[in-house]
Amino acid sequence: MIVLFVDIDYFFAQVEEVLNPSLRGKPVVVCVYSGRTKDSGAVATSNYQARKLGIKAGMPIVKAKELGEDAVFLPMRKEIYSEVSGRIMGIISKYGDQMEVSSIDEAFLDITRRARDFQEAEKIAMELKREILDKEKITVTVGIGPNKVIAKIVADMNKPNGLGIVRNDKVNDFVEKLDISKVPGIGGKLESVLKGQGITTLGKVKRVKFEELARLVGKSKAIYLISLANNTYMEPVRPKEKHHKGRYVTLGKNTREMKEILPYLRRAIEEAFAKIDGLPREIYVVAIMEDLDIVSRGKSLKFGVEEDKALEISSDLLRKIIESDKRKLRRVGVRLGKVTRSSSLRDFLK
């Protein structure tokens, strides 16, 4: 398998530079304003000039303005970014057989049948980069690897406007030296746990017994790490089904208190149910944290559930998020999926 991972460089800020070329060379910061006060909110993204000043995604706008007095601060314009993203994703899709859009500015592409080897894969990646730059004036970074995770990691290492490749015959050397913190899905907490046991690189995972690794990180994460370390990770690139209806609301203030968040969660559920014609068998609670990181918990059900039961399930999922994460929440939302008209438990008991 040969996979491309395409990451649009500092996307929101770069779009603003394209729309207003006078911004190029200046520190540009795109922000999510909460509306509570003039400068309340957080940084969504920044260009590399702003990053050199220490301005990062998730940082409070007030703090960012202290670091970059001469930076240009702009409000997020999601509709415009979505339109540009759609055009770029359309270009990317032409170069492979399967495409998986993972976010507004990232996508995986399976080119196994288009490229006989990694040399041809590199040519495809270079042509893809050229077409996007020619048509949209936007730079992207591309990672090429034998699976989705390696492709993403090597792209992250080559930002911005880069091209990184890990060929099959180089995977062992690559994982042997790769710092465990660079592996997607390994956050600060798991990094500390693993490094505390001497597992500082992905390669060292191979020298740990499965039972011990599972005790440290859980069974599913252990399987994931071992498959990556042994180059047996082969999760396919597949288009994501768009079968969820959701609603997200901004909290009155950043908080992690259940009693303060529940009214907003209830509102999100009410408005999400208004969008569907039936009863959901999947419920996901999504928390946008104070640093704009996204955490979600979900549950699949045998039968469709009505609104009151959905609130009960969602409250439990929200409680689990709060218990497992020490950050405050900024927004909360709910996504409803697998909607059915006649599969509630009540229907079966009639």
Can you give the pLDDT at residue 30?
A: 96
Task: Report d(CA 42, CA 62) in Å as an integer.
Answer: 8
Can you give the pLDDT at residue 290?
A: 84
Can you give the pLDDT at residue 227?
A: 96
Q: Residues 256, 261, 265, 267: what is their CA dihedral angle, to the nearest 10 degrees?
A: -150
Across the range 115-123, mean pLDDT stands at: 95
Strands 28-33, 3-8: pairing is unpaired
Can you give the pLDDT at residue 319?
A: 94
Across the range 30-52, mean pLDDT stands at: 89
Structure tokens at 233: 């990770």
Transcribe 143-203 into DSSP letters. EEESSHHHHHHHHHTT-SS-EEE--GGGHHHHHHH-BGGGSTT--HHHHHHHHHTT--BGG
Residue with tokens 């900024």, as numbered in its chain: 330
pLDDT tens digits along 139-177: 999 999 999 999 999 999 999 999 999 999 999 999 999
For residue 15, pLDDT over 70 is answered with yes
Across the range 233-255, mean pLDDT stands at: 83
Q: Which residues of 179-198 are buried (b: 16+ CB within 10 A; e: fewer)?
A: ebbebeebeeebbeebeeee
Q: What is the DSSP letter of 219?
A: H
Sign of CA dihedral 226, 229, 233, 238: positive
Which of 293, 311, 301 is CA-nearest to residue 337? 301
Across the range 200-208, mean pLDDT stands at: 96
Confidence category of residue 39, pLDDT binned at 50, 70, 90: confident
Sign of CA dihedral 257, 258, 259, 265: positive
Residues 68, 73, 75: CA angle, nearest 5 degrees: 150
Q: What is the DSSP letter of 25?
A: T
Structure tokens at 178: 């790769």
- Told to judge if 106 belongs to the known catalytic residues of this protein, a careful annotator would answer yes
Across the range 104-115, mean pLDDT stands at: 94
pLDDT tens digits along 226-238: 999 999 999 999 8
Confidence category of residue 78, pLDDT binned at 50, 70, 90: confident
Across the range 244-249, mean pLDDT stands at: 83
pTM for the predicted model, two decimal places = 0.72
Can you give the pLDDT at residue 344?
A: 41
Can you give the pLDDT at residue 348?
A: 40
For residue 345, pLDDT over 50 is answered with no
Catalytic option among 66, 106, 212, 241: 106
For residue 80, pLDDT over 80 is answered with yes
Task: Report d(CA 145, CA 282) in Å as an integer.
Answer: 33
For residue 346, pLDDT over 60 is answered with no
For residue 347, pLDDT over 60 is answered with no
Q: Do residues 118 and 3 make contact, with C-beta atoms less than 8 angstroms apart?
A: no
Transcribe 308-324 into DSSP letters. HHHHHHHHHHHHHHHHH
Peptide bond into 160 cis (omega under 30): yes
Q: Do residues 148 and 238 make contact, with C-beta atoms less than 8 angstroms apart?
A: no
Can you give the pLDDT at residue 243?
A: 58
Q: Which domains does the chain have, with CATH numbers?
A: 3-11+80-166 (3.30.70.270), 13-76 (3.40.1170.60), 172-229 (1.10.150.20), 245-349 (3.30.1490.100)
Can you give the pLDDT at residue 38?
A: 82
Residue with tokens 């690139």, as numbered in its chain: 237
pLDDT tens digits along 170-186: 999 999 999 999 999 89
Strand, helix or coil for residue 140: strand
Confidence category of residue 342, pLDDT binned at 50, 70, 90: very low
The overall average pLDDT reported for the chain is: 91
pLDDT tens digits along 61-76: 999 999 998 999 999 9
Can you give the pLDDT at residue 343?
A: 41
